[in-house]
Structure 1
Amino acid sequence: MLTFQQLISITQGREIQFVQPQPVIHLLTDSRKLSQPAGTVFFAIHGKYNDGHKYLPQLYSRGVRQFVVEKGSADELRQQYPEANIILVPDSLKALQQVAAWHRAQFQLPVIGITGSNGKTIVKEWLAQLLSPEELVVKSPRSYNSQLGVPLSVWQINPNHTLGIFEAGISQAGEMEQLQQIIRPTYGIFTNIGSAHDEGFVSREQKVAEKLKLFKDVELLFYCADQQLLHEAVQRQGIKSFTWARMQPADVTITATTTAGSKTIIFYTYQGEQQQLAIPFADEASVENALHCLAVLLYRQLPVAAIQERLGRLHPVAMRLEMKEAINGCYLIDDTYNNDLAGLSIALDLQANQPQHGQRTLILSDLLESGLPEKNLYLQVAELVQAHDVQRLIGIGPTISKYSHLFSASEEFYTSTSDFLKAFNPARFRNEVILVKGARVFAFEKIVQAFQQKVHGTVLEVNLDALLHNLNYYRAKLAPGTKLMVMVKAFAYGSGSFEVANLLQFHRVDYLAVAYADEGVLLREQGITLPVMVMNPSPDSFAKLQQYSLEPEIYALEQLQAFVLSLEAEATYKIHLKLDTGMHRLGFVREDFDTLFSLLQQYPQVQVVSAFSHLAGADEALHNDFSQQQIATFTSMAADVETRLGYSVTKHILNSAGIVRFPEHQLDMVRLGIGLYGVEATGAEQEALRPVSTLKTTVSQVKSIKQGDTIGYSRKGIADAAKTIATIAIGYADGYDRRFSNGVGHVLIDGQRCHVIGNVCMDMCMVDVTGLEVKAGDEVVVFGPQLTLLELAQSIGTIPYELLTNVSTRVKRVFYAE
């Protein structure tokens, strides 16, 4: 077992303090994911958006006694952490990678390294499944393929494993060399080359060359020879390869493919013999991913019958963790088909960071194909459950039931899913965060269905990874020390206030802002502890503001007078002063200042924590002069505020558009609103953001219409020819604007645009699907990445804000992380 003393030579770091020998069992880079302090080494990484050194005191207080740091004076570190072993290195991330590379070198097992633009995770998961009958596979959890994710993946290797499968992703030149040294692949798979991360490379040729660095020492590289750019680069470098192709000679030549329902029949030639196989997918991406796997199986000389049997058992890979509203105030984290130890740890981390009231419940099946002896496996599971403070465990399966005595949480065990469902009583679950995690053979989708609220099939999917991407995009524009306030008013622009606020709290923004006190109260009741500014408080809400430590925006003298009269003398209260610099909506003007500060002097318990204003036209360049005038006015007024108060306050004027257009005026804090949700208000940098929300519904019925027939209320839809129409389960009560009626709006069904025909009804509308194969139950995309909010808003003369905030609360929200 690795010891802390060995880390010094592995990382070539400087020993700051060595107190006592300790084993190195867990590598930690995120303080929020600490589960077992004993044996943990925390690598304090100074990253682009955060600095791990800030969390050393917190981790030390929680029992961590091993640190790798990249800054701090030796004397101060010894004084602050007298019982800790500490190493100082130039780069903590590099040190982590060196430790993982050392760990990899201790094992001689063969390793398959996977890179490419798309399909890496699916190929990895499928290969692990296909090879599991003869191999004990260790693999990257989910899509852990980055400079940070790869070392954490490789650290999982233990002596029981017989094969490793790790994916590697890069976003710019110079990154792959580090990953190659950690993975040290014996074999390689290059899935494909596409546009992902093109911005980080001079050309596609350079991107191919950089990715190929992963395979500089492999015995064999698997890839599709039809990818000309890749094929030529492999040939130039002389990498020994095993290829498949449709269009040119290869080791495996695909002569034909044909779709039969949900299956694809593949006809191929290998070693001079014609063969055919069926895979259980019809889409081209899945076929391509399966062909990469087929090449590996053929090279390993598996009999065709065995290959067919294994391919037939392939199933879609759950690429995301979904969080769904469930019965009785519960939230359900649906991780149904990800069933390994590393995946369990990741899902438990997500569950642990949902600060809702009520208990945490885990519904867990037997863990299959872990490569560990049963007792060791369930000891580790029990440790994870305890470390993540799971209050109730429901184990399903004969093996986990056998080791029930290892668990200290309140527990119940069932030998099968059907036994659990027979005993299921909804009343026993209330205000809980329930993680559902099981192997596919246990059919846990039936459990998910039992827990979900019975609502109609229209859902708003909220991509938390996209939201985080957008947050980091704006954070990257901020000067060091600039604080960030994020708007979660109006149900977080329709996306779900608590869920978005919780993510923002997890990623340590400085402030939240809501429109009304009730929104802030709800956040507090659901565990949000960040400072919250209430932008439109009313006198009848002042008591709640004080009760829940919410900070009101004060914008008028009569409002301030009512607020101070409601105060209890012994407490201190924080307020934010709104200054009117030209928006002329709300706010104090200079003429108010004498009365304003005279009143504040009478109430010393009232502390002004910020002064701010709002730009009226920051999203349009034609108003730049006016915006600059507003900024100058605000700067002058804020200086006067501080002079009259006799202390400094936080100053902020930039909104999402202002962050992009006026970066030199960030002052002490900026306010991020619509940009977080994927709409770049100036339009100049829209491509840099990711859409956060996708509104989906389903087809309720399909019918044929004769020429001349009318459709919908007021007979506004008229068939100018024989048509096929589909009724879809969304209407203006769900937030689908009535202005989309009569051909103005359109939706996507199977990727095809279908125009609205007739008037939008309250709960449904009709769309023209003539010429398409559409049936009841088919998915309909109302807006999303391929049909953007901006496009839809422009079609009815409004703004994306309106479409987002209009999505009704009766539409179920599904939150997911990839």
Structure 2
Amino acid sequence: MKILNSALLEFFLSSTGVCTDTRKIQAGNLFFALKGPNFNANALAKEALEKGALAAVIDDAAYESGDKTLLVEDGLKALQDLARDFRITLSIPVIGLTGSNGKTTTKELLFSVLSQKFHCYATAGNLNNHIGVPLSILQIKPNHEVAVIEMGANKQGDIKELVEIAQPTHSLITNIGKAHLEGFGGEAGVRKGKGELFDYVAQHGGTVFLPKDKNVVHEMSHERGINTFVLADEAMPTKLIEAKPTVTFSCADGSIVKSHLPGIYNFENIQMAIAVGKAFGLSDEACRTGISSYLPTNHRSQFIKIGSNQVLMDAYNANPSSMEAAISHFAETENNPKIVILGDMFELGDLSAKEHELLGKLIAGFQFSKVLLVGEHMQHALINLPQAYYFPDKFGLHNWLQDNPITNSFLLVKGSRGIQLESVLPFLES
């Protein structure tokens, strides 16, 4: 039956949650049949109902099959409108965060810290886009006391769309770097696109969390006249002791905190998480516990023991900024021999060749035992790395590793998500 988007809220509130995948349907779910370039989930509406869905939201009348199929103009827009309508019913604080690098790690740190006091919800996995954010909002339950919503973007306008759905009361931008340059149209476009989060704050109010050291994020806040902000490291001052292999820092009371995250760049993420915790009334001890108990997973800044090798697995994503930070940190560690396995950086557009060439120049400045480069774009890094091993695809790398086993080494594995470099792990077990 034809239904207005506004009426979907009643169906949702009587459901057991939203689902977009018939393989994961649970009894009482509200199924949304979303369309993509290569699929039309409208054809699965009947299957969803047979598996126990309360109703199926479709946008193609050809698939109507009774009162349990709810026909809307556009399934995705209906999902987004439902999330926006549901968000309005929530009275809890919602922390919205974005950034070129470190946003998922910061989101996980926020969850770990805030969970010391509150029943906290945080974006699951990487559900941070135009589909993931509405799904995340719709997963907030009545007993949640605070929510952390991660927002990703590939182009200008993306964050604007997401903040209008999530309507954050608190906001932070981890940093501005060289990410998704193709979609944003360069670094200035990244700054403008990510700044859409602060545009929302300027128009609707709320609290902004800013890094300790003044940088471009401070400038973006000042440009918009935002006056309600919290500076990292003010409420609970910290001092870095070391960042290798993982971040260890001291607090004003003399206590020492050892995290499971490597690199100075992660110390900045830690400081932001503590700032949020203190602003929400957590004790110093609770903040310390939240940081020290967080264990990175999903191949993000994750230490893995593989046979006789120690691997710093950071293969979830990569861009010029995150590559430089990870490689520079890795080079400073005391472990030897050190080997880097690096995959293509995607979504750089016309700047791809130049950025990969610059990456090769960066690597050439360090003394790594071996440099293994994977992917079509990485060939441009060879201009500055004539001694590097190069493989057009990861399967060539797999074969080489089988013939040339690596043992007793410390390895950094990093590349964009599309190249899936975690596939090398089974070949490092020698």
Give TM-score, length-normalised by structure 2: 0.67
- Equivalent in the alignment of 2:328: none
Structure 1 CA distance for aligned equivalents of residues 116 and 367 of structure 2:
45
- Equivalent in the alignment of 1:77: 63
Given candidates 152, 175, 179, the residue that maps to 1:196 is 179
Given candidates 8, 15, 23, the residue that maps to 1:24 is 15
Residues 57, 70 of structure 2: 8 Å contact kept: yes
- Equivalent in the alignment of 2:213: 226
Given candidates 319, 331, 337, the residue that maps to 2:298 is 319
Q: How many residues align?
A: 364
Residues 176, 213 of structure 1: 8 Å contact kept: no
CA separation of 1:301/1:139 partners in 2, compared to 1, >3 Å: closer, same or farther?
closer
Q: Does 1:182 align with 2:165?
A: yes
- Equivalent in the alignment of 1:296: 276
Q: Does 1:217 align with 2:204?
A: yes
Residues 29, 43 of structure 1: 8 Å contact kept: yes
Residues 112, 164 of structure 1: 8 Å contact kept: yes
SS at match of 1:68: strand
SS at match of 1:297: helix
Larger Rg, first or second structure (1 or 2): 1
CA separation of 1:686/1:188 partners in 2, compared to 1, >3 Å: closer, same or farther?
closer
- Listed as ranges, the gaps of 5+ residues in structure 2 are 319-342, 357-362, 407-420, 426-430
Residues 151, 182 of structure 1: 8 Å contact kept: yes
- Equivalent in the alignment of 2:193: 207
Q: Summarize the alignment of residues 391-430 of structure 1 with structure 2, pairs less than 5 Å apart.
A: none
- List per-residue Cα deviations over 1:149-181 (Å, max 9, x = no partner): 111111121121111111112222222233223
Q: CA deviation at 1:209?
A: 2.9
SS at match of 1:160: coil
Residues 27, 42 of structure 1: 8 Å contact kept: yes
Residues 297, 307 of structure 1: 8 Å contact kept: yes
SS at match of 2:168: coil
Residues 100, 175 of structure 2: 8 Å contact kept: yes
SS at match of 2:129: coil
Residues 116, 211 of structure 1: 8 Å contact kept: no
- Equivalent in the alignment of 2:249: 265
- Equivalent in the alignment of 1:519: none
CA separation of 1:192/1:11 partners in 2, compared to 1, >3 Å: closer, same or farther?
farther
Q: Summarize the alignment of residues 547-586 of structure 1 with structure 2, pairs less than 5 Å apart.
A: none
CA separation of 1:12/1:62 partners in 2, compared to 1, >3 Å: closer, same or farther?
closer
Counting aligned pairs with the same residue, the percent is 25
Which one has more relative contact order, counting CA pairs under 8 Å at least 6 apart?
2
Given candidates 246, 263, 267, the residue that maps to 1:283 is 263
CA separation of 1:686/1:194 partners in 2, compared to 1, >3 Å: closer, same or farther?
closer
Structure 1 CA distance for aligned equivalents of residues 389 and 286 of structure 2:
59
- List per-residue Cα deviations over 1:458-486 (Å, max 9, x = no partner): 99x896989xxxxxxxxxxxxxxxxxxxx
Q: Does 1:51 align with 2:40?
A: yes
Q: CA deviation at 1:797?
A: 10
Q: Does 1:239 align with 2:199?
A: no
Structure 2 CA distance for aligned equivalents of residues 21 and 251 of structure 1:
42
Provide the aligned C-alpha RMSD in A: 4.7
SS at match of 2:210: strand
- Listed as ranges, the gaps of 5+ residues in structure 1 are 14-19, 268-273, 322-336, 338-444, 467-676, 692-747, 755-766, 768-779
- Equivalent in the alignment of 1:431: none
- List per-residue Cα deviations over 1:758-780 (Å, max 9, x = no partner): xxxxxxxxx5xxxxxxxxxxxx7
Q: Summarize the alignment of residues 36-185 of structure 1 with structure 2, pairs less than 5 Å apart.
A: 36=26, 38-56=27-45, 58-59=47-48, 62=51, 64=53, 66-70=55-59, 72=60, 74=61, 76-78=62-64, 81-82=65-66, 84-89=68-73, 91-185=74-168
Residues 96, 151 of structure 1: 8 Å contact kept: yes
- The amino acid across from 1:29 in the alignment is T
SS at match of 1:221: strand
CA separation of 1:783/1:797 partners in 2, compared to 1, >3 Å: closer, same or farther?
closer
Q: CA deviation at 1:230?
A: 2.5
Deviates more, 1:791-800 or 1:198-207: 791-800
- List per-residue Cα deviations over 1:301-323 (Å, max 9, x = no partner): 54445544544x233321349xx
SS at match of 1:285: helix
SS at match of 2:35: coil
Q: CA deviation at 1:106?
A: 2.4
CA separation of 1:170/1:277 partners in 2, compared to 1, >3 Å: closer, same or farther?
farther
- The amino acid across from 2:296 in the alignment is V
SS at match of 1:118: coil
- The amino acid across from 2:68 in the alignment is A
SS at match of 1:129: helix
Q: CA deviation at 1:101?
A: 1.9
Structure 2 CA distance for aligned equivalents of residues 301 and 84 of structure 1:
46
Q: Summarize the alignment of residues 264-663 of structure 1 with structure 2, pairs less than 5 Å apart.
A: 264-266=248-250, 278-281=256-259, 283-311=263-291, 313-320=292-299, 457=309
Question: Relative to total residues, which structure has the larger helix share, 1 or 2?
Answer: 2
- List per-residue Cα deviations over 1:108-138 (Å, max 9, x = no partner): 1222221222222222211222222321111
- Equivalent in the alignment of 1:800: 392
- The amino acid across from 2:163 in the alignment is Q
- Equivalent in the alignment of 1:34: 24
Q: CA deviation at 1:43?
A: 2.0
- The amino acid across from 1:807 in the alignment is W
Structure 2 CA distance for aligned equivalents of residues 275 and 173 of structure 1:
44
Give TM-score, length-normalised by structure 1: 0.38
- List per-residue Cα deviations over 1:208-249 (Å, max 9, x = no partner): 43232453434311012635432233123232333437xxxx
